[in-house]
Structure 1
């Protein structure tokens, strides 16, 4: 099933916007995580962690989820397919992994933000969790850069399923 050209372009724009928006939001989240971890100013630290929860909950989770859902819809509605090319499959798996890790991290993000609201964090308070936020944000940024690179370069290579579909469309025996 192929989308009509007008719909395909709208879906492509939505996918690009959600993906690039995710990239920018995660970069901002990482900057706040580093500021929260390294700042000597208690107000900066508190503000950073509260802002991180808001950004994660209301910007990053919706954008990454939208990117995943729109990407699946786009692949099913175009000739690329969801399982035909390794680069599409890699993007799907990386984005799915990103969503899962992000959702698992939300509890820790909310906890640090709640503690920051109620008390002044010392440099030793919740240090492991605060470092984890930096590491996971940096990892998420790398994954988003990899998926963006895959989208631009589209490295060759069809899956076995893709080869079968290609040969079936040409009328070749499998």
Structure 2
């Protein structure tokens, strides 16, 4: 019993000394696991949303029924705003929090920086152009809508969601394999 208490006291003293020396505070094991689990859940959810978006884009592109095509684009519009953007934002927040409050660090490893850039790309594409294309596709396929240029916008949207899905798959592989490559100090 004395050894456990002594270990706890040494651990607390070390943590206080680390904070006093300006070292970052780290999560306890339980908090780290909870935040990591949350990050994995929202990231997997985001991959799922993007996969569904790709499938729906092809369904709408190849649908002969104009009502079905329009309804698919309306479902996609809902997915973008109800799931895609919130999950991407939560993935970004939980990923940055994990990086800052664990020994991995945000800027220490190349794979973490690449994941961050990929997620920002996914968010920029989704919030910037894909949501606009999906809204435009919904308008063009509505009864009485102007269908000029429909095929071009459909292919842009398919390409956009495919790029998002590919970026998320690469980020997932980076998370699993964690390739080496610590940041090298600048020599100046």
Tell me the TM-score normalized by structure 1.
0.87
- Conservation of the 8 A alpha-carbon contact between 2:140 and 2:150: no
How far 1:160 moved relative to its partner? 1.9
- Conservation of the 8 A alpha-carbon contact between 1:45 and 1:121: no
- Conservation of the 8 A alpha-carbon contact between 1:84 and 1:158: yes
> Aligned to 1:156, what secondary structure does the other structure show?
coil
Aligned residue runs from structure 1 range 28-67, under 5 A:
28-67=52-91
How far 1:118 moved relative to its partner? 4.0
CA distance in 1, matches of 2:139, 2:99: 40
Question: What CA deviation, in whole Å up to 9, does each residue of 1:49-69 have, x standing for no partner?
Answer: 111100111101110111011
Please list every run of 5 or more consecutive structure 1 residues that lacks an aligned counterpart in the other structure: 165-174
Aligned residue runs from structure 1 range 1-174, under 5 A:
1-105=25-129, 106-119=131-144, 125-161=149-185
CA distance in 2, matches of 1:129, 1:14: 35
Which structure is higher in RCO with an 8 Å CA cutoff and minimum separation 6? 1
- Conservation of the 8 A alpha-carbon contact between 2:66 and 2:141: no
- Equivalences, count: 162
Larger radius of gyration: 2
Tell me the TM-score normalized by structure 2.
0.80
CA distance in 1, matches of 2:74, 2:100: 38
What is the alpha-carbon root mean square deviation over aligned residues? Answer: 1.9
> Aligned to 1:3, what secondary structure does the other structure show?
coil
